[in-house]
Amino acid sequence: MKRGCFLTLEGGEGVGKTTNLAFIDDFLRRRGIEVVVTREPGGVPVAEKLRELILDETGLLPEAELLLIFAGRVHHVRDKILPALERGQWVVSDRFVDASYAYQGGGRGLSWRRIEYLEDWLVAGCRPDLTFLFDAPVEIGLGRARARGDINRFEEETVAFLERVRQAYLERWRREPGRICRIDASRPLAEVQEAIAARLSRLVETWRK
Ligand code: TMP
């Protein structure tokens, strides 16, 4: 059985991840690929419980926040992502490890070295094959997130925090331009989805060979 591909969606607040996740799911299913859609923080019951804590608890220390995220992630990876990939399914996750570098690293100021240590220890063997980074100026995304309502702790952060998150994501992209595909999320949706479809078609073709 050929191992499935692991895709992740990343970006700041209000950049259209949810809409494009549905588009990607549909795109792959139409091509006969079995897809498991998931998210972080969360994805499995214990990690969903931790998600509530992570998104709602005020006053969490950055270190505690990072460790809670990785506590959920280790279950997510071992209980759901790796088994699905082994079964030949594709996994599409709304956020993954890059978000920790962006939010806890860039946003909260924790060193990337510590995050790398956790990643090497807990998530080895589970690198995304392809990551879509939805990138847009902070004000645009924040406006959309606020219009949607139901604001979480991260969406309440200052523009400066979210700007650091954006810059950290862009740094990840500059370091790994082969894996991370940056999408200009301020463009009209039809153009965004055209860019996604083009990149996905290439991946499906390579996978089938
Ligand atoms: P979302 O489901 O709206 O994307 O919200 C999840 C929030 O969790 C988002 O604001 C970013 C945050 N987050 C981190 O801070 N670090 C992480 O590693 C992950 C996966 C998410």
How would residue 102 be classed by pLDDT, with cut points 50, 70 and 90?
A: very high
Domain 6-208 superfamily per CATH = P-loop containing nucleotide triphosphate hydrolases (3.40.50.300)
Phi first, then psi: what are they for 182, rounded to 5°? -80, 130
Phi first, then psi: what are they for 127, rounded to 5°? -90, 140
Under 8 Å between Cβ of 136 and 186: yes
Radius of gyration of the chain (CA): 16
- The reported pLDDT for the residue numbered 150 is 72
Residue 79, pLDDT above cutoff 90: yes
To which residue do tokens 């939805």 refer? 134
How would residue 48 be classed by pLDDT, with cut points 50, 70 and 90?
A: very high
Q: Is the CB of 100 under 6 A from ligand 1?
A: yes
CA–centroid distance, 157 to ligand 1, in Å, is 12
Residue 104, pLDDT above cutoff 80: yes
Residue 82, pLDDT above cutoff 90: yes
Among residues of the chain, what percentage have pLDDT more than 90?
A: 89
Residue 191, pLDDT above cutoff 90: yes
Bridge-partner residues for 7, per DSSP? 92, 130
Residue 197, pLDDT above cutoff 80: yes
CA–centroid distance, 26 to ligand 1, in Å, is 23
Residue ID of nearest Cα to ligand 1 atom 9: 154
> Tens digit of pLDDT for each residue in 116-139?
999 999 998 899 999 999 999 999
Q: 182: part of which helix (H) or strand (E)?
A: strand 180-184
- The reported pLDDT for the residue numbered 29 is 98
Q: Is the CB of 154 under 6 A from ligand 1?
A: yes
User: Which residues, including other chains, have CB under 8 Å from residue 10's CB and lie 6 or more apart?
Assistant: 17, 95, 96, 98, 99, 102, 131, 132, 133, 134, 169, 180
How far, rounded to the nearest angstrom, does the alpha carbon of residue 149 sit from its chain's CA centroid?
21
User: Which residues, including other chains, have CB under 8 Å from residue 52's CB and lie 6 or more apart?
Assistant: none
